[in-house]
Chains A and B, each alone.
Chain A
Amino acid sequence: MTALAIWATTTQPPLSVVSQATGQPFSWTIFLQSVINGISFGSIYALLAMGIVLIYKSSDVVNFAQGQMAMFLTYIAYSGMGLILGINFLQPHADLPARVGWGVFLGAIALSLVVAALMGMAIEKFMLRPLARSSVLSQVLATIGAGTLLYGLVSWIWKAEIRPFPRFEAVAGRPVQLGTPPDSIIITLEAINFLVVGLILSFLLYLFFRFTMVGTALRAMAQNAFAARLMGINVGRLNGLAWALSLMLSAIAGVLAGPRLQLEPNMMTDVGVKAFAAAVLGGMTSLPGALLGGLVIGIIDNLAGYYLGNGLQASIAFLIIILVLVIRPNGLLGKTIRKKV
C-alpha cells in the first residue's frame, strides 16, 4: 500500500442506464431513449448545480463538497425512514422495506430538509464567514476538507457498506411505454418524477427570486454586497439563507436519486462532479443556466455512455465543457464576472 493509495475508495458504478455494446446500426429509438434518460437524471445534476450557483452567487464561495453534503443528507433521510418505521438504521444490513408510502417518504424528506437548513446556516456562519477575506484557495480547500470529513464521518456512523434505499411507492409503478416493442421507448415513473420535481423546484426558485422581498434582496446582495448592507440587509444572515436553500435542494436530489444510486459514502461523488460541471457550463452565476447545464450534461453523459462506452463517458463531458468555456468563458448563460480588485 502506497502513501497515495490511502485515499482508496470504491469506484462508482456508471450512471448511464443503457449501455449496450456499440456497433449496432443507428436507431432513433435508442437515441431518443438515451436523451430521455439523460434529461431525467440531468435533473438531479441540475438540483445540485443550482445549489452550487446559489452559494457562489451569494458569497463567492465555490462549494466543492456539494456532492458529499448531498450524500450526507441522503443518509439523514434514510435514517429518518428508519426512525419512523422503528428500525435500527445504524445497524449494518438494516432491513428497510424496498418501498415506502407517502407518510414515511414525506417525513424523511422533512427531516432531511430541516437538517439541511441548519447545516447550511452553520457551515456559512462557522466555516466560511471566518474565511471571507482569505484566498480563494483556502476557501476551496476548506470546502474540500469539510467534504472529506463528512465522507469519513458517514463511513464511521453508517459503515461504508452499500445499502438499498427505499423506493417511493407512488413512483414505483409500471413504466410508461411509448410505441410498440422492439421500437418502444420506456420511461419509468421515477424518471418522470426526477424531471417534474426538478422543474417545479426551479420554478419555485424563480418565483422566490422574482417576487419576494428576501429573494430580491438575495439578488441585490449578489450584485453589490456593499450597497446591500447600506439598505439594512443583513448580509451574513442572507448568505446563511443561501446556503440553507442550496443544501435543501441537494437533500431533495438525494432522496430522489437514492434508490437509483444506492446508499454508500461514494454515492454522490460522480453526481457532485457532474453537477459542478453543469454549474460551470451554465455560467456559475445563473440559475436557469445551471438547470440547462444539468440537463445538457445528463444528455451528453448518456449519449457518450451509450455510443462511446463507459470508459470515455466522463472525459467527453469534460472535453465539451472545457471547449465551451474556452469559447465562452462565462458559460452558456453566465454574465461577465465582475473582477474584484
Chain B
Amino acid sequence: MKWQKIQQTASGKYTRWVLIIAGFTALPWIITVLPFFGANNYTYSQLNLWLILAIVCLGLNLLTGVAGQISLGHAALFQIGAYIGGYFVARQGWPVWLVIIVAGLGTGIAGLILGLPALRLSGPYLAVATFGFSVAIPQLLAGSQDIAELYSDPNELATKIGVLTVPKQNLPGLKADDDLGRYFMFLLVFLIMLVLALNINRSRHGRAFYAIRDSETAATAMGVALGKYKLLAFIVSAVYAGVAGSLFAFQVGQLDANSTSFSVLASILFLTAIIIGGLGSVWGSVLGSAVITILPPFISAVNDTIKAAFGSSIENFESIFYGLLILIFIYFMPNGLSGAFQRLRMRYSSDPSKGPATPAEPAATDLPVS
C-alpha cells in the first residue's frame, strides 16, 4: 500500500512537471496574446530577460525570504557573474555550458566574501556592508586599470574602460540574434535552477534557513550552526546570481560596468521582485520577476497616454510607478502574489494541505516586552 502511494505521488509529480515544461515551452507563443508583445525578437528578448531575472530572484529569495538576510549587493554578484561569463567566452573561447558553471562557482566564491561580514553583522549594518559591495564592484570593474586590462580586448584600443564586448551565445546551430532559440537555451538553465531551489526549500538545509530567519537565538538553541548556514545561504544565492549574470552577458552582448543593470538600483529591483512575488516562495520569485519584466512597456504606454493628454510626458515616470508598487505590496499584500494565490486556493479547495509549502511572513504575535 505504501508503494502504491509513492507511485501515485510520483506520477502526480510527473504529470505536474510535464505540464510545467509544456507551459514554459509554449510561453513564447502564448505571450503574444498580451498587448505590446508581438511575435518578434523584442518579445523574445523580454522573455529571456525574465528568465535571467527569475534566476537571480530564486537565489535572492533563498537568502532574503527564506534565511532572512537582507542583501543590497546582489546586483554586484550579478555583475561578477556577467563579467566572468563574458570573459571566458569572449577572451578564452571556452564552451558556453562550462562557462555558465564557472560563472556560477566563481560568483559563489564572491558570495562567500560578501557573506563573511554577515557572520558578525545584522540588520542595518548588514544592509550597509552589502550596499558597499554593490557600490564597490562596478567601480573596481570600471575604474581599476589593472582589472580592466584583464578583460578588455588587446586588439581594440578604443574600447571604453569597463566595457566588455561578448559574442552573443545561442544553442548550437542557431544564429546569435535568434532570441527565440536563446529562450530555450535559457529555459533549460532556468528549469535546473528552479528544481534545485524547490529541493533546497524542502530539504533539511531549507528548514535550517527558515529557523535562522524566524529567530537567530532559537535557531542556535535548536542546534543550527548559525555561521555555517548564513554563509551557505550567501553562497547558494550568489551561485544563482552568477549563473544569471553569465546568461545576461550572452543575451545583451555588451557589458558596461557603470550600467544601471549592475547598480544598487538593480539590487533594489531584485528585492522589489521578490516582495511582489512573495517572500520565501519559489514560484513567487518567478511571478515577481515576470511582473517586473512585463511592466516597462505598460509604464511607457501610460506615459504616452499622459503625453497625449497633457502635452508632455513625465520624466522618470517609472520611479513613481515602482515606488507606489513597492508600497502597495508592503501595505496591502505583504505576502505577495503567491500569498494571494495561496489564499484563493485555500478558499476554493477542500483540502488546505494541498497549498504550496511556502510559509508566509511570520505572524506578529510577539509580546510588547517580556
Across-interface contacts of A142 in B (CB, < 8 A): 326-327, 330-331
Give the total of B residues in contact with A, Cβ under 8 Å: 71
Q: Quote the shortest CB–CB distance from B10 to chain A (angstroms).
A: 37
> A149, B327: Cβ atoms under 8 Å?
yes
Report Cα–Cα, A151/B326, bound state, in Å.
14
Please pick, from A133, A150, A225, A277, the residue contacting B132 in the complex, using a CB distance under 8 A. A277
Tell whether, in the assembled complex, residue B263 and residue A7 are in contact, meaning their CB atoms are under 8 Å apart.
yes
Contacts of A326 in B (CB 8 A): 116-117, 120-121
Do B330 and A141 touch (CB < 8 A)? yes
Which of B25-33, B94-102, B150-158, B269-277 touches A? Answer: B269-277
Q: Does B346 contact A (CB under 8 A)?
A: no
A3 within 8 A of B: yes
- Structural contact, A152 and B128, CB atoms closer than 8 A: no
Separation in Å of the B151 CB from the closest CB of chain A?
A: 16
A residues within 8 A CB of B258?
A: 11
Q: Given the known inter-chain contacts A3-B53, A7-B260, A341-B215, please indicate yes or no for A322 contacting B129, CB distance below 8 A.
A: yes
A329–B120 CB distance below 8 A: yes
- Let me know if A148 and B323 touch, CB within 8 A: yes
Q: Provide the bound-state CA to CA distance between A148 and B331, in Å.
A: 16
Partner of A318, one of B53, B121, B135: B135
Looking across the interface, which residue of chain B has its beta carbon closest to that of A11? B258
Query: How far is A153 from B279 in the complex, measured between Cα atoms in Å?
Result: 28
| Bound CA–CA A277/B130 (angstroms) | 11
The stretch among B181-189, B200-208, B311-319, B349-357 that forms the contact with chain A is: B311-319
Q: Does B64 contact A (CB under 8 A)?
A: yes
Q: Shortest distance in angstroms between A313's beta carbon and chain B's nearest beta carbon?
A: 8
Q: How far is the CA of A38 from the CA of B259 in the complex (A)?
A: 28
The interface residues of chain A, by DSSP majority, are classed as: helix
CA distance A62 to B325 in the complex (A): 20
On whether the beta carbons of B326 and A280 are closer than 8 Å, the reply is: no
**Interface presence of B222 (CB below 8 A):** no
Interface residue? B142 (CB, 8 A): yes
Residues of A contacting B173 with CB < 8 Å?
none
Residue of B64, B117, B144, B315 contacting most chain A CB atoms (<10 Å): B315
B131 to chain A, nearest CB (A): 7
What's the Cα separation between A145 and B142 when bound, in Å? 29
A181 within 8 A of B: no
User: A156 touching B320 by the CB < 8 A rule?
Assistant: yes
Asked whether B11 is an interface residue with its Cβ less than 8 Å from the other chain, the reply is no
Contact among B50, B117, B334 with A134 in the assembled complex (CB-CB below 8 Å): B334
Q: Are A311 and B317 neighbours in the complex by a CB distance under 8 Å?
A: no
A4 interface residue (CB < 8 Å to B): yes
B112 interface residue (CB < 8 Å to A): no
Complexed CA–CA distance, A180 and B4 (Å): 94
Say yes or no: B123 contacts A62, CB within 8 Å: yes
Residue among B144, B327, B368 facing the most chain A CB atoms (10 A cut-off):
B327
- CB of B320 within 8 A of CB of A153, answer yes
A160 CA to B116 CA, complexed, in Å: 39
**How many of A's residues come within 8 Å of B, CB to CB?**
63
Interface residues of B in 213-235 (CB under 8 A from A): 215, 217
Whole-angstrom distance between the Cβ of B46 and the nearest chain A Cβ: 7
B334, chain A: closest CB distance, angstroms: 6
Query: Cβ of A111 < 8 Å from any Cβ of B?
Result: no
Q: Are B124 and A56 touching (Cβ within 8 A)?
A: yes
Q: In the complex, A146 Cα to B252 Cα: how many Å?
A: 31
User: Smallest distance from the beta carbon of A148 to chain B beta carbons, Å?
Assistant: 4
- Closest chain B residue to A157 by CB distance? B314
The answer to whether B319 and A155 have CB atoms under 8 Å apart is yes
B315 touches A280 (CB 8 A): no
Interface residues of A in 107-162 (CB under 8 A from B): 130-131, 133-138, 140-142, 144-153, 155-156, 159-160
A136 adjacent to B123 (CB under 8 Å): yes
The reply to whether A265 and B117 form a contact with Cβ atoms under 8 Å apart is no
**Does any Cβ of B come within 8 Å of A292's Cβ?**
no
Complex CA gap A315/B143 in Å reads: 10
Task: Please give, as numbers and ranges, the residues of chain B lying within 8 Å of A56 by CB-CB distance.
Answer: 124
Kindly list chain A residues whose C-beta atoms are within 8 Å of the C-beta of B121.
Answer: 325-326, 329
Name 30 A/B residue pairs within 8 A (Cβ), A-sorted: A3-B53, A3-B293, A5-B259, A6-B318, A7-B266, A8-B260, A62-B124, A134-B364, A137-B279, A138-B361, A140-B127, A141-B326, A144-B326, A145-B323, A145-B325, A152-B317, A152-B318, A155-B315, A156-B314, A156-B317, A273-B264, A280-B124, A315-B135, A315-B140, A319-B136, A322-B129, A325-B117, A325-B120, A325-B125, A341-B217
- What are the nearest 9 A-B pairs in CB distance? A311-B143, A149-B323, A152-B319, A318-B132, A145-B326, A152-B320, A155-B316, A148-B323, A133-B364
